[in-house]
Amino acid sequence: MKTKEIKTDVTVIGAGTSGVFTSLHLLTKGYKVSLIERSPRIGGALVNSLVYPTAGFHSQNFTYFSSPLVEKFIRNSIENNLSLGHIKDPLRFSSTITPIHPTAYKILTNQLLNNKNLLFFPLSEIQNIKFQNQKIKSIILNYQNEKYEIKSKIFVDGSGNLITSFFIPLEFNFDLQNLQALTLIFKISNVDFNLIVKDIKNNPSEFYHKTDLDLILSQNFLSVSGYYSLAKQYLDNKELLLTRDRFLFFSDIDKNSVVVNTTRIFLKDIHKPENFHISELEKLAYKILLKQVIYIYNIMKKNIEGFRNSYISEVADFVGIRQFRNVKGLYTLTLQDIIGGKHFDDNVSIGTWPIDIHISNSIKEGKVNEKGYGVPYRCCISNYKNLLFVGKNISADNYSFSSLRIQATLMILGENIGRIIESCLNKKIYPLDIDYSEIKKTVKIIQS
């Protein structure tokens, strides 16, 4: 088979939360981008795993953080009735949440694909990555039964699973025993919200202790974390590898529907070192989690009055993987940084979300600085001259990772990495050689 050679300014792996905004910025500036995606479409976790609601735009003291393209995206979504915008978090876990319908991302997809400078490779499989002298030279991939060699000046890994580390020598964190849970999110429709509100009103001790019923009512938006006694009876099911202490679900944008985030398994329970491949693990996880979906739904329908006449209206196409490998970069963000609210000259995003570790059967939570904290560019680069990392791939310890892995933080980060790449291309320098103190002039973080 003859290899087709493609040359673009930048190659981005992963059309998800962060990679989309890196690509979008570069395309708006007229650069040619190859976007490599193994799934059929753009959107990543938000679309393929139904992750919802988007969060992280406000710090605990309600300071707002965004970036120009991200803000435009949210505004468009609101104008098209695909997002409720920023609302207060009825669980009082964080300050705000931002419910966005997956279709909003699909609309963004079309805007992206309309650009003549984008070469999009959906359903493609990376075969190899060529490198020399700490520089990535090209990516070899299979796409539509043809072999391609993609050459670029700069490469970005936004795969969420650090796919580059399977092909090139890279230092990364992967603590199998302490990785966060995998979840298959699903949607239930024809739910009677009033009956659920009644449950919260009548039995507040059955629900997360900070639940604010007045907010649920005034915003007409359900955030439910609880039914603890019911969970105790059913959600410790060894056969399904299910251990959970609560039912967790949120109002969907679609009326009378909820998005359920209750299934879970741990990678350590299905991981076999002798037969390790991420796509195999995902397939196996999906099989088990789909059984959990049916099991959990039946418990809800049978035992919670508000679900009596409901039905499952959607199940995510892909398992949601909260944490996998993340790179050891030039800087590793730490627990101390996020609690102390540290800021850096080379900030590329601002983290706001509390520490939120989905481990064992529960959630380990903790506060971060109420004004938010900076995420430096150095977390997005290691020792390769022309390779950057965005999204869940970036360098962070387990605690800071659990906070910065949230969508708003990673969208802003993705866009700003796009800006830095633009600057590198203009100056004809490698991302590793950029003067970190110069980054402040390049990055755009909206704050109000």
Residue 90 within binding range of ligand FAD, rule CB under 6 A: no
158 vs 376, which CB is nearer to ligand FAD? 158
Which one of 199-207, 231-239, 381-389, 402-410 is the stretch in contact with ligand FAD (CB under 6 A)?
A: 402-410
64 vs 429, which CB is nearer to ligand FAD? 64
Ramachandran quadrant class, 85 (left: phi over 0; alpha: psi -120 to 50; beta: rest): left
Of residues 248 through 287, those in contact with ligand FAD by CB under 6 A are 261
Comparing every residue's Cβ against ligand FAD, the nearest one is 16
For ligand FAD, the binding residue among 32, 38, 86, 101 (CB under 6 A) is: 38
Which one of 75-83, 343-351, 375-383, 405-413 is the stretch in contact with ligand FAD (CB under 6 A)?
A: 405-413
C-alpha span between 353 and 55 (Å, rounded) = 8
Residue 416 corresponds to which tokens in the numbers above?
Answer: 């700003």
367: closest CA among 340, 396, 348, 397? 340
C-alpha span between 250 and 234 (Å, rounded) = 21
Residue 17 within binding range of ligand FAD, rule CB under 6 A: yes
Which one of 99-107, 217-225, 317-325, 381-389 is the stretch in contact with ligand FAD (CB under 6 A)?
A: 317-325
198 vs 252, which CB is nearer to ligand FAD? 252
Residue 51 within binding range of ligand FAD, rule CB under 6 A: yes
Residue 153 within binding range of ligand FAD, rule CB under 6 A: no
C-alpha span between 160 and 181 (Å, rounded) = 15
For ligand FAD, the binding residue among 299, 321, 350, 443 (CB under 6 A) is: 321
Which one of 47-55, 82-90, 131-139, 209-217 is the stretch in contact with ligand FAD (CB under 6 A)?
A: 47-55
Residue 50 within binding range of ligand FAD, rule CB under 6 A: no
Minimum distance, C-beta of residue 391 to ligand FAD, in the bound complex (Å): 2
For ligand FAD, the binding residue among 8, 11, 18, 223 (CB under 6 A) is: 18
Residue 200 within binding range of ligand FAD, rule CB under 6 A: no
Using alpha carbons only, give the angle 299, 305, 308 rounded to the nearest 5 degrees: 70
Angle of the 68-79 helix axis to the 407-427 helix axis, nearest 10: 130
Residue 329 within binding range of ligand FAD, rule CB under 6 A: no
Minimum distance, C-beta of residue 169 to ligand FAD, in the bound complex (Å): 18
Minimum distance, C-beta of residue 394 to ligand FAD, in the bound complex (Å): 8
Residue 139 within binding range of ligand FAD, rule CB under 6 A: no
Minimum distance, C-beta of residue 305 to ligand FAD, in the bound complex (Å): 26
Residue 372 within binding range of ligand FAD, rule CB under 6 A: no
Residue 289 within binding range of ligand FAD, rule CB under 6 A: no
39 vs 386, which CB is nearer to ligand FAD? 39
Of residues 107 through 126, those in contact with ligand FAD by CB under 6 A are 126
Residue 246 within binding range of ligand FAD, rule CB under 6 A: no
93 vs 193, which CB is nearer to ligand FAD? 93
241 vs 429, which CB is nearer to ligand FAD? 241
Residue 222 within binding range of ligand FAD, rule CB under 6 A: no
127 vs 220, which CB is nearer to ligand FAD? 127
**H, E, C per residue of the chain:** CCEEEEEEEEEEECCCHHHHHHHHHHHHCCCCEEEECCCCCCCHHHHHCCCCCEECCECCCCCEEECHHHHHHHHHHHHCCCECCCEECCCCCCCEEECECHHHHHHHHHHHHCCCCEEEECCCEEEEEEEECCEEEEEEEEECCEEEEEEEEEEEECCCCCHHHHCCCCCEECCHHHCCCEECCEEEECCCHHHHHHHHHHCHHHECCCCCHHHHHHHCCCEEEECHHHHHHHCEEHHHCEECCCEEEEECCCCCCEEECCCCECHHHHCCHHHCCHHHHHHHHHHHHHHHHHHHHHHHHHHCHHHCCCEEEEECCCCEECCCCEECCCCCECHHHHHHCCCCCCEEEEECCCEEEEECCEEEEECCCCCCEEEEHHHHECCCCCEEECHHHCCECHHHHHHHCCHHHHHHHHHHHHHHHHHHHHHCCCHHHCCHHHHHHHCCCEEC
Residue 333 within binding range of ligand FAD, rule CB under 6 A: no
For ligand FAD, the binding residue among 44, 90, 306, 329 (CB under 6 A) is: 44
C-alpha span between 105 and 80 (Å, rounded) = 12
Residue 396 within binding range of ligand FAD, rule CB under 6 A: no
CB atoms within 10 A of CB 232: 12
18 vs 198, which CB is nearer to ligand FAD? 18
Q: Which residues bind ligand FAD (CB under 6 A)?
A: 13-19, 36-39, 44-46, 49, 51, 53-56, 126, 158-161, 163, 183, 261, 320-322, 391-392, 405-407, 410
